[in-house]
Structure 1
Amino acid sequence: MFSRLLPRTVARGAFQAQNQTPQILRASPVTSHLQGRISQRRGYATPSEEKDLVIVGGGVAGYVACVEKRGSLGGTCLNVGCIPSKSLLNNSHLYHQIMHDTKNRGIDVGDVKLNLEQMMKAKETSVSGLTKGIEFLFKKNNVEYIKGTGSFADEHTIQVNLVDGGETSVRGKNIFIATGSESTPFPGLEIDEKKVITSTGAIALKEVPKKMIVIGGGIIGLEMGSVWSRLGSEVTVVEFLGQIGGPGMDAEISKNIQKTLGKQGMKFMLNTKVTNGDASGEGVKLDVEAAKGGKAQTLDADVVLVSIGRRPYTNGLGLENIGLETDNRGRLVIDSEYRTKIPHIRVIGD
């Protein structure tokens, strides 16, 4: 990846090495992992150590130099998104096949039990192996990695609250913002990642909920809803549109996916909107009605998965300190070269 990305970056004028190996530091927007050349030194960069490039964010878009808030590299995709969800998808599929399909194929496997704790450990092992691989690449390519929450002090300085306590700052001739995105909250329902969860909570439940309601029938909601449905939860998807999979999915594909998931036990309420939510009791109550208006009804669930999209992760970046503003959806405006109105500050990724 480095061999492909860095030459383009140089060509576009992101930094000028002047016959020297560029100093690269990676940092994530609000969370910054500044772990300095892990095996070579334990100290952190000082304000006098100006880097050629500082990246705020440790996800896929910012693998070159970083300040990252999580305790591990890889961003949302690797830590709490694509990778762990695919592990659960695969293993829940195997479990469902053994429980409901193999007997009809002449395969008798005897007494089958779900060991959710072990399934979660398998997921974590997959994630851990990949994050350690990224750390190895950082060491190999002399990328300084700072663990902490980063924000702009000025146009060339990132102030970092370190994960282990204390503060440091890093100066860069060029800065990439690669902070990714976060789940969009649902008005009136406070996310606690226990009863009201996002996809992050959905990959870490301690037990299979008896009833789960998924608000939003997009890809993420269907993915995580199907995992828990195959593991034994009664899952209902509430979707405002008339089809699942999002507005960009082909209607025929959407219909067939719904048919397949329906055979696995998932239920769907399409053309339906959630008007109110109450998580004050033991479970969660949702008031729903037809999208175009109609008679309301109340749904009960042990767990509600909020999956109505994602929004850019720009809060807390200190953008006000450098005069950068976001639009009404929290997005930074860039040109065709990913530059903001401050030429040496670029934005990549979500």
Structure 2
Amino acid sequence: MVRMSKEMTHYTEDIQKKVDECYNIAAKARELGFDPEEFIESPQAKDLAGRVEKLVGPRGVAEIIRDLKSKGKNDDQIAFQVVSDILDRKIGNIEDLNERVDRAIRVGLAIQTMGVVSAPLEGISKITIRNDYQGKKYLSLYFAGPIRAAGGTTQGLCVLIADFVRKKSGIPKYEATDGEAGRYVEEIKLYDRRVHLQYPSSHDEIRFAVGHLPIEINGDATEDEEVSRFRDLPRVETNNIRGGACLVLNDGILLKAPKLLKRANNMELEGWDWLEDLEKIAHGDSSKEEREETDGDEIKEDILSPNSKYIADIIAGRPVFSYPSRIGGHRIRYGRSRNTGLAAGGLHPATMVLLDK
């Protein structure tokens, strides 16, 4: 652990002192009863572990997270270990299976989002163990609009965590019907027209993913518009568009399939190999081409072909910095650097010169 200088220690202590003063004033104001709640809804937390415990609990989870952090575990390892401990009743000792499953998934999502967004609370409206038409149980996650704040990768990871919870709890897989798959196709396309989703998915991709998902991606009605074809399905409570479900399936599972496959393999999660086939469908089975090189013997080598999906729906008149896989084209590097930090973007100075900015 890095030690702070005396000046920096005094500086942080002074900030904490003033924050405490503000909280005390706010607490007294809340006690007067003029607000919806008589307590401060945003408790203080000093680190990831504290934020997770204050956000979704259960009591004692913060110490476990800190201990795993000190052992050098990454966020994925911490999330799955904590989820496993909750299911084994080592943390929280929750007796009811439904409540235990609910808490485990929310805690896992809170760790992945670093406890700084409301997605674990408001992004998942409810988690239930339902029965299908044959009486078999399956796990259903009801997503709401605020799940957008989690980001596509974390939305997909939430489903991976839910599948891990499902397996460990002995809950059978979700099996979608043809009608439910068709409902997702219609629903996502309708939602895309209203809100504009990031990923222009195809009907085949949606049907393939829904047919292989072990968890039901469900959701509350978020739009006034209703579907016209696949209505009044037995396991879908509403005919209205479910925005949260569309976001998670389209911009979480479909868009982030390669990244989710990598994370699933790293965590040794079984049953997600179909994500690799999904990627092939996304590329129209032409993601790889054979190139022949002849130097006496014929050698076949796989090369990646350009994927133009990301510019398929570009607005006319907008500048295009680079076409897919074009040599010398514009590139985006994801991650955090010292000059941009969290939730910020930066441009290379050379790019600014080229753009005359």
TM-score interval, normalised by the smaller of the two chains: under 0.3
The structure whose RCO (Cα within 8 Å, separation 6+) is larger is 1
Structure richer in helix, relative to its length: 2
Structure richer in strand, relative to its length: 1
Could you tell me the TM-score, scaled by structure 2's length? 0.25
